Amino acid sequence: MKELRQEQVVIRQYLLGELDEESRQQVEQRVMTERDYKEEVLMSEEELLEDFAAGALGEYERELFLKHYLSAPLQKRKLKIAQALNKYSEDHPPLPAAKQPESNWRRLINVLQSRKWFLRMAWAVVVLVVIGGTWVVFQTWRGRNQQTELQAELERLNGPGSKVLEGSGSVLHLSLVPLSLREATGAPPLTVTAQTQIVQLRLAGPPGHFQSYRATLKDSHSDVVLSYDNLMVRNPDNAALLVLQLPARILNNDDYVLTLSGLKPDGTFEETGDYSFRVIVK
């Protein structure tokens, strides 16, 4: 199941033009030779179209969708069909579900209408507990959902085949050195504006020469904002760097500490350094 999810992430990156040349060709060769894989790409494409038509794409993906995916007439036709299907399903709502047997409702209504105050009180307590419990469950579910989406986005930005984005209005770079090496001049600031979509943290000379690293970002309250395993050394501009790309929306006016840990052959992690920075949101 995890492999399918990883495959779907790569396919979405392909459709949005985020993959490097080699990864792009790998996807295309598989489309040519594996029927099941081609079907998976087409299904993922439909889901991308549905998400766009429903306004469910994040700003970054929406930009890529408009600039890259929608550049060809075939895709524009597919979008029209997706939008028509959206509208059609709104115009033709499903038939209402069959009503509950009257006797069950009747029993509940009888309780509410009961003159016995303690029955009505008990009912009110039950309702309050149910509402409270539902709210807690909803908050937990929402939090998990947001985490799942964040992990998927991090995988897309940093996983195998992803590009190291160039600096632009929407992509901010920040170079960091370990706390142990930095003079006591305070954490370097990063000014995030409404235009900023991606923040790219560049860590020079990755310590320990591990195969991969875990990056854990904490705020000033030591709450974990994100944790990403599988960060690998890149070579943009021919310099070995660890690059972590993250969506700007998760950052607030705060001080952050990024902790790097290297993956050892036995599967455990060894802390290799802390990097701090300050975010100013304008």
Partner 1 sequence: MMATEKRYTRPRPCLRPALMTKRWEDNFEALLTWLDPDREQAGAKYEDIRHSLIHIFSWQGCVDAEELADETITRVTKKVPELVPGYTGDPALYFYGVAKKMRLEIMRRAPPDAPPSLENIKDPNRDPNEANDPNESENVYDCLDECLGKLATADHELVLLYHQQEQPKIESRKALARQIGINANNLRVKVHRIRAGLHKCIENCVRQKTANEMD
| CB atoms inside a 10 Å sphere around CB 244 | 22
Closest CB 156 distance from partner 1, rounded Å: 17
Task: Say if residues 244 and 162 touch (Cβ distance below 8 Å).
Answer: no
With CB under 8 A as the contact rule, the residue among 39, 111, 135, 137 that binds partner 1 is 39
With CB under 8 A as the contact rule, the residue among 3, 22, 74, 106 that binds partner 1 is 74
With CB under 8 A as the contact rule, the residue among 2, 88, 98, 209 that binds partner 1 is 88
Q: Is 264 in the site for partner 1 (CB under 8 A)?
A: no
Q: Which is nearer to partner 1, 35 or 221 (CB)?
A: 35
Closest CB 84 distance from partner 1, rounded Å: 5
Q: Which is nearer to partner 1, 89 or 211 (CB)?
A: 89
Handedness of CA 80, 83, 89, 92 (dihedral sign): negative
Q: How far apart are CA 157 and CA 200, in angstroms?
A: 10
Task: Say if residues 244 and 158 touch (Cβ distance below 8 Å).
Answer: yes
With H, G, I as helix, E, B as strand and everything else as coil, classify residue 245: strand
Q: Which is nearer to partner 1, 68 or 182 (CB)?
A: 68
With CB under 8 A as the contact rule, the residue among 7, 50, 219, 254 that binds partner 1 is 50
Q: Is 53 in the site for partner 1 (CB under 8 A)?
A: yes
Binding positions for partner 1, 89-148, rule CB under 8 A:
89, 92-94, 145
CA 92 remoteness from chain centre:
32
Closest CB 279 distance from partner 1, rounded Å: 24
| CB atoms inside a 10 Å sphere around CB 90 | 8
Q: Which residues of 40-64 are buried (b: 16+ CB within 10 A; e: fewer)?
A: bbeebbebbbebbbeeebeebbeeb
With CB under 8 A as the contact rule, the residue among 20, 56, 126, 271 that binds partner 1 is 56
Q: Which is nearer to partner 1, 70 or 232 (CB)?
A: 70
Which residue from 138, 151, 135, 194 is spatially nearest to 170, judged by alpha carbons? Answer: 194
With CB under 8 A as the contact rule, the residue among 6, 7, 58, 79 that binds partner 1 is 79
Residue 18 vs residues 131, 159, 270: alpha-carbon distances, Å: 44, 11, 31
Q: Is 80 in the site for partner 1 (CB under 8 A)?
A: yes
With CB under 8 A as the contact rule, the residue among 43, 121, 136, 204 that binds partner 1 is 43
| CB atoms inside a 10 Å sphere around CB 159 | 18
- Residue 96, judged by CB atoms within 10 A of its CB (0-12, 13-18, 19+), counts as exposed
Task: Say if residues 130 and 108 touch (Cβ distance below 8 Å).
Answer: no
Closest CB 1 distance from partner 1, rounded Å: 9
Q: Is 33 in the site for partner 1 (CB under 8 A)?
A: yes
With CB under 8 A as the contact rule, the residue among 6, 7, 58, 85 that binds partner 1 is 85
List residues near partner 1 by CB under 8 A.
Answer: 4, 14-15, 25, 28-29, 31-33, 35, 38-39, 41-43, 46, 50, 52-56, 62-63, 66-81, 83-89, 92-94, 145
